[in-house]
Amino acid sequence: MKSLINNKTLYKVAVGGFYLESNSFVGGETSLLDFKNQTFAQGEGISRNSAGSASEFAGAWDVLTQAGCELIPTLIAYSSPRPPMTKEALDTITETILQAIPIDVDGVYLMLHGSAWAHHEDDPEGVLLTKIRQKIGPNKFIAISLDLHAYFTEQMLKAVDIVSAYKTCPHLDLYETGARSAEILVQALRGEVKPKTVMAIAPMITPPEHHDHNRAPFKTLMDATRKTQSGKVLIASLLATQPWLNVPELTWKAIITVDGDVEYGQKQAQELIDQAWALRKEFLSVTAKPVAIAFEEALAMGTPTVIADMGDATNGGSLGDSTEVLRVALASKNSGSVAVSITEPKAVLICEKSVGQKVQLTIGSGQPGSYNEKVLVNAKVIA
């Protein structure tokens, strides 16, 4: 509840974060321990830099503290992209944040990725936001920040007032995204704006290879999003939802936080998503080569070259256990130094105990013909 200190209004704002990008199509689970092994800070253990000095949380923290708000830290739970989360992890994160938010709070800011998923729950963030709304009531403000690959749902839309998502990919504007969400929250608390958030949808799922704000078609759409964000449109966001989720609302979405005029905001959201729909076919022009051909071309270049196995990208939640490139490298007759990154814990344990020795390793666990087909490797452990 707001109070007066030195004749200045002081607003109480609960702050926190729940950040996970899930991949529905890989084995394993993301446990509570996985969060604790990365970032799991509670209450007084939370600081400006708990999620990183240039994070959305840091941006929001700076804006809110500079505005004189009293911050009530709840929980920062962060994991890198991983498999679906366990029920224990989701329940613990949800209840920890919920219990730390006082009923008399004036506003809430949460740093979310927006694409968490569990086998028992399609919409973890929506569940969390709905429970917060039920606790604090309909007249308090909830502001969130999102990754532009977020899976934003109707449930989330009904619970929040303010939404701010990245406008860059690769993601460079984390701090600015959180700061913008907090700026509108402060303006709302002061009665300067009346934020309402609306959504428009296009039935699109696109490969991420063209999600690059430096090149068309994605640059065209991010430029249009920035242009839309003016006047009564307090924040414009365009979400190119990541494709590694098995969920019912997996589509591109335009999200507009507007100052009061819902009809105008809806019109702007529709115009923005219509622009994305018009360019949809340009996102499908991905040129991918067979691994063997790409490998030989890379060696022929004579310079360090990266071969990206996009289907096994760990920054998209995959396990990183593909042996496709390794098999091609071992079969190649061309010489050259090749570094192949593979997730294989058992091999790591053997190598750690065998520095300077020759070893025989089994890499991969799949059947013949599978992406992670077993490969027998004879090697010497250098370090």
| Beta-bridge partners for 253 | 201, 239
Q: What is the mean pLDDT of residues 10-38?
A: 95
Most confident range, picked from 267-276, 285-294, 337-346: 267-276
pLDDT range class, residue 306, cuts 50, 70, 90? confident
How many CB atoms are located within 10 Å of the residue 368 CB? 6
Which position has the token pair 């840091």? Answer: 58
Q: Where are the beta strands (DSSP E) in 113-194?
A: 141-146, 162-165
Listed residue (54, 60, 68, 66) closest to 11, CA to CA: 68
Tell me, what's the pLDDT at 3?
56
More confident residue, 4 or 127: 127
Residue pLDDT, tens place only, 329-370: 898 887 678 888 899 999 999 999 999 999 999 999 888 888
Q: pTM (2 decimals)? A: 0.91
pLDDT range class, residue 208, cuts 50, 70, 90? confident
Tell me, what's the pLDDT at 29?
94
Q: Which CATH architecture has domain 3-283?
A: 3-Layer(aba) Sandwich (3.40)
What is the rounded distance in angstroms from the CA atom of residue 64 to the CA atom of residue 354? 53
What is the rounded distance in angstroms from the CA atom of residue 225 to the CA atom of residue 229? 6
Tell me, what's the pLDDT at 316?
81
Each domain of the chain, given as residue ranges in start order, spans: 3-283, 291-380
Cβ contact 381:355 at 8 Å:
yes
What is the rounded distance in angstroms from the CA atom of residue 62 to the CA atom of residue 73? 14
Tell me, what's the pLDDT at 233?
99
- CA-only gyration radius of the chain, Å: 23
What is the rounded distance in angstroms from the CA atom of residue 205 to the CA atom of residue 203? 7
Which position has the token pair 């009530």? Answer: 72
Q: What is the mean pLDDT of residues 273-300?
A: 90
Cβ contact 93:34 at 8 Å:
no
DSSP three-state, residue 165: strand
Q: What does the block give as tokens for 322?
A: 């593909």
Cβ contact 150:244 at 8 Å:
no
Find the helix packing angle between 291-301 and 324-331, rounded to 10°. Answer: 60
What is the rounded distance in angstroms from the CA atom of residue 337 to the CA atom of residue 308? 17
**DSSP string for 300-357:** HH-S------GGG-GGGT------HHHHHHHH--S----------HHHHHHHHT-TTS
| Beta-bridge partners for 10 | 3
Which position has the token pair 């007066």? Answer: 4
| Beta-bridge partners for 378 | 360
Tell me, what's the pLDDT at 1?
60
